[in-house]
Structure formats: C-alpha cells, structure tokens
A and B are shown apart, each in its own frame.
Chain A
C-alpha cells in the first residue's frame, strides 16, 4: 500500500477533474459544482490515505517517483513527500473542498461561467499539490509559476462584481509581483544547473543531488537571493507585501482562502525546503537580515491590520504578521522553532482560511467590506459571530486553539537561540489581541447598525457544514497536535542537522531529557 504512487494520483485526479468540469456547458452549473466537490473530496481522501501510509521515522522522501522529462537538460518528473510537504498537501487538500462548498453561490455573481470557476479551483489544486510534491527543482518552478494562472483569473474575473477596475488592478499586481520573483528564481534555478554541470559533469535539477553540492559562498549568496526574493514575495514578507492586501480584498472568498491559506505557504515552504538546505552558508549569512525583516513584519502587519477599515484587507495584513512568525521560526535554526514554523503554516491556513470564509459570509449578507457598515451582528447572527470569534482567537493564538502550539514553539525555539529577538516578538501577541478583538468589537458588538440588518439570516446548513470541520480542527489541533508534530519534527530536525545546526542545550539542566531527540 505504501508503494502506491499517491502523489501522482493526487496530481492526476484534480487535473482531469478540472478538464472535465471546464468542458461542461455553461448551463450545467450545478453539475459542475457537484463534480468539483466530489473530485476535491477524492483528493482529500487520497491525502489522508497517503498520510496514513507515511512513515515519519524513515529519512528522505517517500512515495518517490521519477521519470525523465527533458533528458537533454536533466529535467525529470520527480515527486516525493517528506514531513513538511506532506502536511502542506494535506492542508491544500482540506481547504479545496471547503472552498468549493463555501463558493457554492458565489460564482454566479461574477456573471461568468460557473463551470469555469470550479475548473479553475481544481486547476489551482493541481498546481498546489504539484508544487509541494515536486522533488525536481525545475518541476517545482513549473508548478510555482503555473499556479499563478488560475489565481490570476480567479481574482480578475470573479472578484467583486462592481469593482471591475480595482479587481483587474489587483490581479495584474499579483501577477506581476509573482512573475518578477519567479523570474529571479528561474535565474537561480538555471544557476544551480550550471553549478551542478560544473561539478558533476552532467547538469541536474534533482533536489537530492543538488543539496549535496559544495557551492562557493559567493555563488551561494547570489542563488540564495534569487530563491529568497521569490519566496519572500510569495509568502509575503515585509517589505514585499503590498500585493497581498489588494489581492486578498479583490479575490472571491474562495480565492482568498486558497491564496492566503495555501499559495502563500509555498513561499514559506520554499524557504525551509529550498533556501536552507541548498544554500546553508548563505542562509546563515542572511539569517540576521531575515530575522529582522520577520520581526518588523510581525509588528508592521499587526499595526496596519489595526488601522484597516476593509475587513478583507485587515485579514490580509494579519497574515503579514503571521508570516513574520513563520519566517522567524524558520531562520532561527532550532528544531522547536522550525517545527513550530511548519506547523504554523498549517495552522495559519486553517485559522486565516476560516477568518476569510466567515468574513466572506458576512460580506455576502451585507454587500460591504467596510467595518463601519457593521455593528451588533452578534445579536442578529450569533452562530456567525461565534465562529468568527473562534477563528479570531485562533488567529491571536489563544491556548486551546491550534495556533498557540505553533506560535509558542516558534517563540520558545527562537528564545533558546536569539533571546532578545524572542522577547521583542513575544510583545507582538498583544497587538494580535488588539487587531482581532477590535475588529470583533466594531462588527459584532454594540447596537445593531440599522434595522435592515435585523432581517439578515444566520449561517445556513451549507455554511455550517463548511465551518464545522475547520472549527473542529482548530480546537482539535490545539488540544492534541501530536500527530502532526510527529510527522513534521523528524524532517525539520534532519533539515537543520544536515546544515550542522542542533538545538542549544539548557544552561542548567535539571531533568534528563525524557525522550531523546530523533536526530
């Protein structure tokens, strides 16, 4: 069972599904939705089965497959999963059905073809699975860029109906920003190929081979920057973030969930998967700069989120703060911080995803993203308000929700290595409380804004089905995160061990470690 080509199947199913859905005539909207839901659920089942078959104690990639693609350039179709990519694939596979279900009625608004919308979602899923599964750097690059296309159309064609100019502005901005980073990365990818051709005789794009290369520090720095800027734009990290609020605000809800929930994770995933193992010396050289940017991002994102009036922009800015935490954990080079960062990627997908979904529901009821258009919603729509609060609490990392585990791991891991930085970053949790609860206060509490709002309906059955699994996971992973940690920890530990980093020992250890590290 464990030898089944899980990853290839997970790529083929949504790709074929996307083609089938796209070929449906426009009038068969309902059929398209149902088909998309079935396909995305099938991918979810596959992802869960793959996770069950995954053996966390085995080193290296699992479910690996490799076929020559462009032999002349050493490009191959190679896929494989390690602990980091597996949990992110799981996240992507989980969010797509949620998005399909939450966008059930949304596509009509765009007065565009409904089948096309769902076909784009499935195409996006193909790209997301591929980008995490690829173990060939060139293949990774292809998926990295291919994801842009469906997302561009999702923003440009299915954003808010009445804001045509803004949404095409946002779509183009997103595309250009990402392309700019992508081209820098392409240059670095080609650079890697040249270096490998120099050292090995024949050039290769195979990740496992590339990480064995001994690259001179100067070259490492250049190549590192090529990858890093692409990922920093994608994530995004301060100061490459200005596309995110626009894209987040102008996306349809489902698009925003996938954009912030999964697409942006490709950036942070790239940092830990490619930047660090491929260029260890450069990573160490640039670590202080990245850490500084991360801490600035935490505060900058939080303060800007507090100052926003557009709810979707607000959520987008909170993500900037969260990506700061992720980058902080990634570049502290301790296994706690690294594991926390990877877990944070998953948790952020869940909590911010849910936040976008709920904001989407709210906007759908009122037709405005402006915070000041709301007030007292908790009286009218108590369930919606409750779910909103749970998503928000997860976003501010309250213990008992998923994000607390990851945020604390990041902070404690950073603390053992960079004490002052951790102290500063920890102060960011106060701002997190402010941006979430201030938003909650302005929208949900107080007197009902106007009498028309009293007629608004609470969450429908479909909407409850959408949020229920997310809420369950948010609380479940907060109380019992061990299954995910067990998958992530060995891979992260191995990644850092590979570049010669190990956790600092406690200065005055009193208890023998209760169970030794797995490295």
Chain B
C-alpha cells in the first residue's frame, strides 16, 4: 500500500485536507541519483586514498555538476505536471520496520525540495569549481572534495526525505560534514575546537528534533510527512502536543541555523576553509532550519504559540547578528554574524505563518546567492592577501582585484537592499509583511526588522569600505609584505555567476508572485494581507533607514581614516566591548554549561573511585581484615586444636541430646 493512499484514506476519515504525493515514475524514478552521485564521489575519493589525488577534485566537481543536471531535469519534469500533482514520492526500501514503527527510506520531490535541490547542487557546483583554485596548493585537496561531496549528499538527503526520520538522518549527516570541514585544517587547535563546538551545539538542537519525531510517532503512529501533516491538518492532535512538537522542531532548527540561543557555534565555524563558509555556513546547511519550519508548516499553522516563539527568536537573532557584526574586524566573522542575522530574517518571515513561508524561502534563496558570493569574494581577498583576515589590514584593494571588487560589490548591494537587487525585493517584503501582521506585536517585529536593515547597511558598508577602499593598510615591503592579486579564473568564474544571481534572483521570485504561487501547494495560500501602512511607504522607510546606515558608515570609514589596529577595549563604548565578546554568549555557555560540567565530571570521577569503587574495595578490605583476625586462632599448638575438637564434639553431642529430648 503506498504511503499516499494511506494518507488519503486517513484524511477522508477525519474530513481534513488530503496530503497527496504521487508515486514516482519515469524520470522521477531517478530521484535517488541526486543523492547517489555525490555519495559515490565521496566514497571513491575516501576509499581510493592517495591514488585519486591527481583527479579527485575533478571527479568531485563532476558528480556535483551531474547531480545539478539531474536536478534540472527533474525540475523541468515537475514544471510539466499540473499544479496539484507536483509532489512526487519515491519509495526506495524499508529502513526500520518494527511492528507499528515502519520507517521507509523514501524521497519526496515537490516544489519545496525542488528549489532546495537546485540551490544546493547549483551553488554547490559553483563552489566546487571555486575550490579547485582555492585549494590548489593544499595537500589535502582530495579529502576536501570528498567531504564536500559527502555534504552535498547529506544535504540532499535532508531536503529530499519523505519522512522525518530520513530528514533527521540527513540533518545529522550534514552536521558531520560540517564538523569534518570545519576541522579540515585540524592541525590548528582552534579549528578542532570550533568543529567540536559546532557538533555539540548542533547535537543540542538534534535532541529537539529527535524528540519531536518521537512525539509524532506516539501521537500519529508514523513519521511520514503525509500522515503527520494529514493529522495536523485534520486537527486531531491536541494543542499541547502539537505545540510541543513545533517547539521541539524549532529547537532543532535553532541549532542547525545558528539562531538564538544556539548561535555561538556559527562564527567559530569560520575556522574552516572559506569555500566551506560559503557553501555550508552561509548558503545551504545553516538554512536547513528554515527548511524544516517551512516543511512542517502544517504543524506550525496549528499553533500560534510556537509561531510567536519563532518570531521572537527571529527578531532577537536579527539584532544579535547585526550588533556583533558591527564590532568585529575579521572579515569572515562579520560575514558569519551577517548570516546569523539574515537567517533571523528568514525565521521572522516563517514565524508569520502562511503569509511568510514563501517569503522566508525567497530570502533564503536570494541569501544563498549573495552570501555565497560575498564569502567567495572574501575568500578571494584572503587568498590574495596570503591568509590575512583582519579588515584593518586591508584597504584600497579595488585597484588590485577588480573582478572581486565588482562581484563582491554586487553581493554587498544585494544584501543591503539596493533597489532592484535581490535583497531589496525579499527583505522589503518580509518587513512589509511583519508590519502588516497588525497589532503592537506587528509594529515591534516590523520595527526590529527595519532597524536590522539599517544596521546591516552600516556594517556591510563598513566591511566593504574597509576592504576595498580607503588607504592601503597592509605592509608594502619587508618580510611581511603582501602582494594582493586577482584570483584565477576557476575562482572568479563562480563569483561572477553568483553575482548575477544576487542581482536578478529576487526580482525573478517576486515577478508575478511566481515563487509564492509555486510554493502554495506545499505551504498553503498566502492570501492578501491587510496593510496598515501601504507597501510603498514601507519601501520608502526601508530605503531611508538603509541609506542612513550607509551614510553613517561612509562618514566613519571613508571620510575618516581607519586605524590599522583596533582600539583597546578601554577606549571604546560598553556596547562595542560586549559585541566584541559576542554579547557574552560564549561566556554564558562557559559559566552555565561548561564549567559546572567540568566540575561535575571531576567530582563524579572522584566519587566513582572513592564512593562506589570505595565501597567495593572497602568490603574486600573488611573481609580481608576479618580473616586476618580469624586466622590468629590457628596457633600451631596441637593441644589447643585438640581442645577445640573436644569442645566441638561436646557441642554436637549436646545438640543431639537436646533435640532428642525435645
């Protein structure tokens, strides 16, 4: 019996909306190839060892590209089908069958997963190509490509799974790939620590996701999307249960997407090679949380409480990311916090419910383009500056790397929402919808998002100006001399393509609400919002605020010289000091979790040795001591033995007589 059939049957019973997935046939029976290709690449490269060193990077890129081609074929196949029939499910095999708990490995290629597949394989392929140049001098390049392929396969598994447990599999495997790639240069202790930190914090989120799945099984009896969403839509799950599910899913999403309160790992993850920062920690993996929430839209639709929490987390994270982004001088850290805050926008969007799901995805896709482009650009700069990451040591680079300057510039304009570029369309719509939510809360969320747009413009302008404009602040001669140069074509090519995406993607999505209509079957109709403030006014407001942010940065970092060394903490404001310390998030984690954990561990090691094992050894010692006393009765005097024998005999005879008498 196909899973789809079961869902229809059940939905009919409850009179709820049917969740229907067509069975895969024709080209769609090849959906598994999407995952299998990069997985095979990873397997060959890892098992082949040094033999594959010479052509490993080419194979890795080829499998990524092949997967992209398959994705395109399937996407066009989906376009050919009618609107309601655009969800194709492929059953592969039975994974964990235990009586009532039946989990199959099955894939679902629908409108939502299709756009993710194209983003992942498309951007992934570009970054593979870029890495050929970026990693050309690294002895571990083959391993790098193997891990990247592994990541692609895991990420595709995440977005293609047709039930929550397969999603969970992909979810943890992307965590593994991320771990492997962050610690790629594992001889650096900082990289190894960052990788572990990322894995630990992700695991905290994973606990939430795992528990959510258990809730689903115990209430619905299945983990398949169609059954769970069918039950959610049919409103047969209690409000408390469904809210718990939603909040636990949210915990998982926060872990993976670096949202408050689990945001601290993402900036540290920048220890990994820059292409990884672009692919995993900007464009794809960290947006998995947004995917999860949008995928679970039927659950979140049922619970206002959970949606409110999503909104709050989104709003708080926007501010955290923005504030810290202003304080760092490390180019990658600034971009990392920028990612944190942009994903905050996506959370804010999806927290708005049906009105915002598509907006969140749109911003996610646009962000995938411009943030990947920005990271690749920063990689190009770092590459040209021999590994220097401190922006205070940059300046005036536009002359030396013109292509990077232009492509980075376009990405920069896109993220600050320059009219006509991607970010303008997508971010603007999020702010607009947040304000249209109505009530005081709508104004608060909208206001935070608006403020965030202004600060984004400020810190991104700061980054751009400090890097490419102003006076050159690097060493021109001497042993530390830098010779900035443009990167090779394998690197600039992908940057140019991503720049094109950053410019046009947003416009394409909003054109005739194309993206919203495309996603409507998955996330529900968006409906026409009631606007207190007309969209034109909102757009104008956003532009004014962003221009303000830009002007502030221009005045501070273009018209006035930038110091080559950051001012010490004592000379800057309290806010800056706090921001430099990541708003004390790491300190908090350390004080609340790490130190007590260490003390507890030490105490337990002591207690186990002294307490439990002490009891064991103590009883052994007691027995030993007692026997030491007892053996003293063995005096060696024959006559004392004889006496005790006599005594024993008398006792026995006495006892016999007594019992006989009694």
Contact = CB atoms under 8 A, between A and B. Distances in A.
Given A242-B616, A308-B605, A335 B99 contact: yes
A398 B218 contact: no
Given A242-B612, A399-B169, A419-B218, A429 B6 contact: no
A508 interface: yes
A480 interface: yes
Interface string A489-512: 100010000000001111111111
Given A303-B601, A507-B219, A412 B207 contact: no
Nearest to A242: B613
* Interface residues on chain A, size class: 35 or more
B99 A503 contact: yes
Interface centre among B94, B95, B96 (most CB of A within 10 A): B96
Nearest to A340: B98
A517 B93 CA distance: 18
Contacts, number: 210
Given A399-B168, A437-B200, A514-B1, A508 B220 contact: yes
A485 interface: yes
Interface in B449-507: none
Interface in A328-381: 335-336, 339-340, 376, 378-379
Contacts of A510: 7, 10-11, 13-14, 220-222, 227-228, 230-231, 234, 236
A433 B203 contact: yes
Interface stretch (B185-193, B318-326, B516-524, B556-564): B185-193
B183 interface: yes
Contacts of B165: 408
A307 interface: yes
Nearest to A506: B221
Contact of B99 (A400, A480, A489): A489
A182 B616 CA distance: 17
A387 to B, nearest CB: 12
A472 to B, nearest CB: 11
A465 interface: no
A517 B221 CA distance: 13
A511 B165 CA distance: 17
A503 B195 CA distance: 40
A512 B214 contact: no
Nearest to A427: B207
Nearest to A444: B186
A4 to B, nearest CB: 29
B10 A300 contact: no
A453 interface: no
A393 B210 CA distance: 17
B96 A508 contact: no
**Interface size bucket, B side?**
35 or more
Chain B interface main SS type: helix
Nearest to B171: A399
A176 B623 CA distance: 13
A485 B207 contact: no
Contact of A508 (B49, B172, B226, B237): B237
Contacts of A427: 207
Interface string A299-343: 010011011100000000000000000000000000110011000
B200 A430 contact: yes
Identify which of B99, B102, B221 gathers the most chain A CB atoms within 10 Å of its CB: B99
Give the residue among A480, A493, A503, A506 with the most B Cβ atoms within 10 A: A506
Contacts of B231: 508, 510
A307 B605 contact: yes
Most B CB within 10 A of own CB, among A176, A430, A519? A430
A19 B519 CA distance: 72
Interface in A429-458: 429-430, 433-434, 437-438, 441, 444-448
A441 B221 contact: no
Interface string B1-27: 101001101110110000000000000
A508 B236 contact: yes
Contact of B204 (A306, A430, A506): A430
B214 A415 contact: yes
Given A304-B601, A335-B99, A447-B187, A441 B196 contact: yes
Given A336-B98, A513-B102, A514-B1, A508 B192 contact: no
A445 B608 contact: no
B639 to A, nearest CB: 37
B239 interface: no
Contacts of A408: 96, 165, 210
B224 interface: yes
Contacts of A307: 601-602, 604-605
A462 B48 CA distance: 18
A446 B192 contact: yes
Contacts of B241: 507
A336 B213 CA distance: 14
Given A303-B604, A445-B192, A511 B221 contact: yes
Contacts of A430: 200, 203-204, 207
- The 8 A-B pairs of least Cβ separation, nearest first, read A506-B221, A445-B192, A399-B169, A517-B99, A510-B231, A307-B601, A445-B186, A242-B613
